[in-house]
């Protein structure tokens, strides 16, 4: 019996454990931290051996196969040891994909992947049997075990792509590539770019890559590297023969001379970046023969993603917007770009080597006050201190919202778009977003 050892007892780890046990592996789950109670109960209930707050090497280094959680870096001494011994290490996406015949749509990118994946699933589920997994919702492995959909939309992070071997999506989407997570890639942008493009490494001519043709980083990589996939670019500025482009507020999508036209006037999501997300999702749907009417209706009634430019409340004619999912500068760029009123901007957290310069023009034009919410706000104060009249700092969400309430006037917007990771003050970006919403509701 093959021994499968799983490092990390979170959603992907426990899902893999269940699928592994079902497929006849001898399974052991090891987590250096503590395992959440709900996951512990699942492991106990299914007679799966586990440990927490520790990695027992003797129980790990005898594995035939190791699935490591995307959160564990390759630099970890245990991972180095495992690799030195030649034990194969895979991600959940790689492991699970061996046990399904489903058509897979894999979506990656620095920003927009959650919105694009959720929107794509929203359109496809009107006509197809389809699951949504990966970096989102129930794990891919668990869904294969319990539901085994005929199609899957997977939101895939670069960390998940780092440990694939044979994984091959029939349709791959790269929304964009901007510097992010560089701490995991030796601070080399090219390593991060290569990681994103791993999504195409096993694709053939019969498979597709949908990508943003306005993204210089993607174009440059495609020019210098050969891939086998059939390319379907999308663009806001160029005319695209095979793929999608924007003309007079209409999205035009052409695949093998079959063209559909979608008006953007009633799109549920605002902002240029969301036109791109809509193009990517609609191109997938058109490829899979979803009816034009269905695509159009789905684009118009899509509710959006929690913590992504989420309109919370309007109080005294001030709109409060939760964009806690903006954990890098590029995401905040999109948020500020879509602001149409004077903005009180709440920013800050754990900096991943951010360069804020690309935000200067928006801050000059739209931001009337900045509230820095982080343990260390020095970089923000130095960067923006001379650009805005009001800049204050706090370590508490409730206080940040109260300060914003005092500063904002009728017709203004209060925007939480941190451009940083949340781990200095919060459990994760969801926790940060929920605290913001609770604080706004308590005003």
Q: Does residue 109 have a known ligand-binding role?
A: yes
CA distance 117 to 206: 21
Q: Does residue 116 have a known ligand-binding role?
A: no
Q: Does residue 229 have a known ligand-binding role?
A: no
- Per-residue b/e over 232-254, b at no fewer than 16 CB within 10 Å? bbbbbeeebeebbbbeeeebbbb
Q: Does residue 115 have a known ligand-binding role?
A: yes
Q: Does residue 110 have a known ligand-binding role?
A: yes
> Do 104 and 169 form a contact (C-beta atoms < 8 A)?
yes
Strands (E), 213-309: 230-235, 243-247, 250-255, 258-263
Among candidates 344, 359, 366, which has minimal Cα distance to 419?
Answer: 359
Q: Does residue 111 have a known ligand-binding role?
A: yes
CA angle 134/184/18 to nearest 5° reads 30
CA distance 348 to 26: 45
Q: What is the DSSP letter of 35?
A: P
Residue 206's CB: how many other CB atoms inside 10 A? Answer: 9
Burial (CB < 10 A; 0-12, 13-18, 19+), residue 161, is buried
Radius of gyration of the chain (CA): 22
Burial (CB < 10 A; 0-12, 13-18, 19+), residue 436, is buried
Give CA separation, 422 vs 95, 216, 251, 426, 427, in Å. 30, 29, 36, 5, 7
Among candidates 344, 330, 321, which has minimal Cα distance to 276?
Answer: 330
Q: Does residue 113 have a known ligand-binding role?
A: yes
CA angle 329/311/422 to nearest 5° reads 40
Residues belonging to the binding site are: 109-115
Residues belonging to the binding site for ATP are: 109-115
């Amino acid at each position: 019996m093959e021994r499968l050892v799983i490092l990390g007892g979170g959603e992907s780890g426990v899902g893999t454990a269940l699928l592994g046990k079902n497929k006849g592996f001898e399974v052991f789950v090891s987590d250096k931290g503590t395992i959440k109670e709900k996951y512990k109960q699942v492991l106990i209930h299914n007679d799966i051996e586990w440990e927490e707050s520790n990695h027992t090497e003797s129980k790990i280094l005898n594995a035939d196969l190791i699935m490591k959680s995307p959160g564990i870096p390759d630099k970890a001494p245990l991972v180095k040891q495992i690799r030195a011994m030649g034990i194969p290490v895979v991600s959940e996406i790689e492991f699970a994909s061996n046990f399904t015949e489903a058509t897979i749509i894999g979506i990656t990118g620095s920003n927009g992947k959650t919105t694009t994946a959720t929107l794509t699933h929203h359109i496809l589920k009107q006509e197809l049997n389809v699951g949504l997994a990966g970096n989102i919702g129930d794990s891919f492995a668990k869904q294969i075990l319990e539901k085994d959909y005929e199609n899957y939309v997977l939101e895939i992070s670069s960390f998940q792509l780092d440990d694939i071997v044979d994984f091959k999506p029939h349709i791959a989407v790269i929304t964009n590539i901007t510097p992010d997570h560089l701490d995991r890639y030796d601070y080399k942008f090219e390593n991060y770019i290569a990681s994103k493009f791993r999504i195409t490494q096993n694709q053939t001519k019969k498979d597709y890559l949908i990508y943003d043709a306005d993204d210089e980083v993607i174009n440059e990589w495609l020019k210098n590297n050969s891939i086998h996939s059939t390319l379907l670019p999308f663009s806001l500025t160029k005319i695209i023969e095979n793929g999608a482009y924007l003309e007079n507020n209409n999205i035009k999508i052409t695949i093998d001379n079959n063209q559909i036209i979608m008006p953007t006037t009633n799109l549920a999501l605002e902002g240029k970046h969301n036109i791109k997300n809509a193009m990517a999702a609609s191109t997938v749907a058109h490829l899979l023969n979803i009816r034009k009417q269905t695509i159009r209706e789905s684009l118009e009634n899509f509710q959006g993603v929690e913590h992504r430019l989420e309109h919370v409340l309007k109080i005294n004619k001030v709109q409060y917007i939760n964009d806690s999912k903006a954990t890098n500068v590029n995401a905040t760029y999109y948020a500020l770009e879509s602001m149409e009123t004077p903005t009180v901007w709440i920013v800050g957290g754990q900096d991943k080597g951010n360069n804020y310069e690309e935000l200067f023009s928006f801050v000059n034009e739209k931001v009337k006050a900045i509230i820095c919410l982080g343990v260390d706000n020095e970089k923000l104060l130095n960067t923006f201190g001379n650009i805005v009249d009001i800049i204050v700092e706090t370590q508490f969400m409730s206080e940040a919202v109260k300060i914003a309430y005092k500063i904002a006037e009728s017709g203004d917007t209060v925007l939480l778009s941190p451009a940083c990771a949340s781990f200095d003050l919060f459990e994760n970006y969801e926790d940060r977003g929920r605290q913001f919403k609770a604080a706004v509701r308590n005003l």
